[in-house]
Chain A
């Protein structure tokens, strides 16, 4: 960049990277209240992983109840109907807002954007730090609800009123308030973070880096941040209305006093559906970078991927009411929303085909990150096609709120949040920690996660088709759902979950031992092109103390016919 952007931090300028690290930083400056984008990224990453363990533990507790009704679940105790509701609710809320969002957008965004565009930091480091602090606060608030009188909120992550607004209906007065407060704070945190991502990417790119030279993952995180900002407004308004209804006696959503409970559903889903793409796009971006590196191929149709991402993003604003087909609104609207919903299959299918085409003619090595990236494509395909069943209004009359829906959205969210994260984390681990991960352990972890994942959710499609509804803590109350074969399937899914959760120990073991004593990582272990691989592993504060890189070409110049090597780093002059 020709101009440097003034930053108030110690009178530094964003371009003045050489000043970084001149003074010794105290422990708390470095690790607790850092301004360095990489350290903030790590804070987000590990908070997100910690929350994933909690969300996973909740899944374990309620799945045990479903498989073995009434038993004392080790680590939780007997799951009562009230427990069941709050476990399900907080599992969903946490997985989406405290795992998928912080890890995929905030952690990867913070870590990768400056490094991949060749900047020394975010444009607004203090806003960045504030973003994490607000996020941490929100995490504390959502978990604290488990310790207040009445317990945590149990009205599902969609929080439909009046159940969510009246304590006499939900029996969790303070719990409900803490839940909506936490969600509200979390959105504020991401608004703060998003400002940085967008401005940094627009203003601090390395000299020579044109729009089309930006790596896909950076693009995707920026597009996702824009989508988030455009969609979150209505829900923030809804959140305030909900807080008022809960605590100040207003009646925005209360039909007894002239409010409308369905208004919340529109506000929620106008945000909620684009939210799926907000978390999807970063994962798609990660997969692009991993797949091109390990197949030594140029990304097939770079601009096509971008346009399909923007296309899905725009369309995602037009489909929200497919969640409300049978919610009691004018039945004619279902026709419009069926059309818009099925239209999304076009850019999504194109995106998937482009990724598969990228493999064509490649030179593929199945490293651990590559396995995760490929698994993402395959599992997400299943998630995508099963969505068609639910977007088709006539069929959704039957499928709505069954386990078919549940299996469908886990086949999209799990690849996004878990598989996408593992792809990115194992790929950038050498850069983040300066050590290589153990590949054998990594592969073992991969198979022990992927096989049980399908073992958990494939049976749930079958149960859903057979009519099993969601959020019911004990199917013994429904003769047609208590058949022995159904109970066997529930037990099978739960046993698979136990295996899958157990396998995560391998991951953390691998992370810790590799971090401590793994083989030292070179600057560019995968022979990749993008700029982060030209910094030290791990990069110091300021990223490139000896001078920011220049950029001469796009990030996917692999196996160029004019070159002997099969890669061509972005910073290497022609």
Chain B
């Protein structure tokens, strides 16, 4: 729809659902809005003061007048109901129901940078080949990710507009959510909760690759991470000696 063209590219499995909800709400609210505006402006034009013409005396309490107001409730309640049902459905899928994961990432926010930890080639978090990156998140299409979101100091918000994803990060908590990328490309990650002086300087990028390209990247990076880890443990040993 035309309205979608206002929104940025859609790159997650649920982005389309949120866009559809946006469209439906727009259409539904425009109906009473247009009617209200039409009546409003036509009354203003039609009932301009004229010499010798007195205004009508309408108390607005008789049934024959009140019914116009009461009738308006039915469409409004109906529209509300449609919007509530759709909104809760989308909400349930995106925020409440956590589908089975295929891979995971840790997202750590702090003043004023993002740290992303990716599982390495073993696809298990917390092992020596984990890949840690600052301000770049690497994911592949067609994989269902769980993110584990943390904050080290103040509130931040992990926002990926192309995914239509947004979640506050709270110090002291780990918040789990999910996403599944659908198209490749490189997009903005923004912090959407004011987090101090550097809030406007907290940009990160999400790199979405095809599964093949992603595997190649993981291969390379986790080998490097392993080598680094080995080097570190060696140097610890050496220091111990």
Interface residues in chain A, defined as those with a beta carbon under 8 Å from any beta carbon in chain B: 81-82, 84-85, 154-156, 160, 162-163, 169-171, 255-256, 261-262, 295-304, 326-328, 331-332, 334-335, 338-339, 342-343, 345-346, 349-350, 352-354, 356-366, 374, 377-378, 381-382, 385-386, 388-389, 392-395, 397-398, 400-402, 462, 465-467, 469-474, 477-481, 558-561, 566
- Is B157 at the interface (CB under 8 A from chain A)? yes
A474 x B96 contact (CB < 8 A): no
Of the residues A301, A363, A382, contact of B54 by C-beta under 8 Å: A363
- Is B211 at the interface (CB under 8 A from chain A)? no
CB-CB under 8 A from A471, the residues of chain B are 194, 199-200
With both beta carbons as reference points, the residue of chain A lying nearest to B157 in the complex is identified as A401
The answer for the CA separation of A350 and B67 in the assembled complex, in Å, is: 12
The answer for the CA separation of A403 and B82 in the assembled complex, in Å, is: 25
A361 x B39 contact (CB < 8 A): no
A81-B199, A301-B69 are known contacts; what are 15 more A-B pairs with Cβ within 8 Å?
Answer: A81-B198, A84-B200, A296-B49, A298-B59, A300-B60, A301-B65, A326-B95, A326-B167, A328-B169, A328-B175, A353-B68, A392-B25, A397-B91, A466-B8, A559-B57
The 26 sampled A-B contact pairs (Cβ below 8 Å) are A84-B200, A163-B155, A298-B59, A299-B60, A301-B65, A342-B80, A342-B83, A349-B32, A353-B68, A362-B47, A363-B50, A364-B43, A364-B44, A382-B33, A385-B29, A385-B33, A393-B91, A394-B86, A397-B90, A397-B164, A401-B157, A467-B161, A471-B199, A478-B190, A481-B188, A561-B57
Stretch among B70-78, B99-107, B125-133 lining the A interface? B70-78
- Is B223 at the interface (CB under 8 A from chain A)? no
- Is B48 at the interface (CB under 8 A from chain A)? yes
With both beta carbons as reference points, the residue of chain B lying nearest to A258 in the complex is identified as B172
With both beta carbons as reference points, the residue of chain B lying nearest to A474 in the complex is identified as B200
With both beta carbons as reference points, the residue of chain B lying nearest to A83 in the complex is identified as B197
CB-CB under 8 A from A357, the residues of chain B are 60, 65, 68-69
B167 x A364 contact (CB < 8 A): no
With both beta carbons as reference points, the residue of chain A lying nearest to B170 in the complex is identified as A328
The answer for the CA separation of A363 and B69 in the assembled complex, in Å, is: 21
B83 x A326 contact (CB < 8 A): no
B43 x A394 contact (CB < 8 A): no
The answer for the CA separation of A466 and B30 in the assembled complex, in Å, is: 20
CB-CB under 8 A from A465, the residues of chain B are 6-7, 22
Given contact pairs A331-B91, A346-B80, A255 touches B171 in the complex (Cβ within 8 A): yes
Most buried by B among A169, A338, A354, A469: A469
B69 x A350 contact (CB < 8 A): yes
B55 x A295 contact (CB < 8 A): yes
Interface residues in chain B, defined as those with a beta carbon under 8 Å from any beta carbon in chain A: 6-8, 17-18, 21-22, 25-26, 28-30, 32-33, 36-37, 39-40, 43-44, 47-50, 53-61, 65-66, 68-69, 72-73, 76-77, 80, 83-84, 86-91, 94-96, 111, 153-155, 157, 159, 161, 164-173, 175, 187-188, 190-201, 203
B36 x A356 contact (CB < 8 A): yes
Given contact pairs A156-B194, A362-B47, A559-B55, A462 touches B88 in the complex (Cβ within 8 A): no
CB-CB under 8 A from B25, the residues of chain A are 388-389, 392, 395
CB-CB under 8 A from B173, the residues of chain A are 255, 328
A85 x B50 contact (CB < 8 A): no
For the complex formed, measure the closest distance between the CB of B189 and the CB atoms of chain A, giving whole angstroms.
9
CB-CB under 8 A from A466, the residues of chain B are 6-8
Of the residues B84, B192, B197, contact of A342 by C-beta under 8 Å: B84
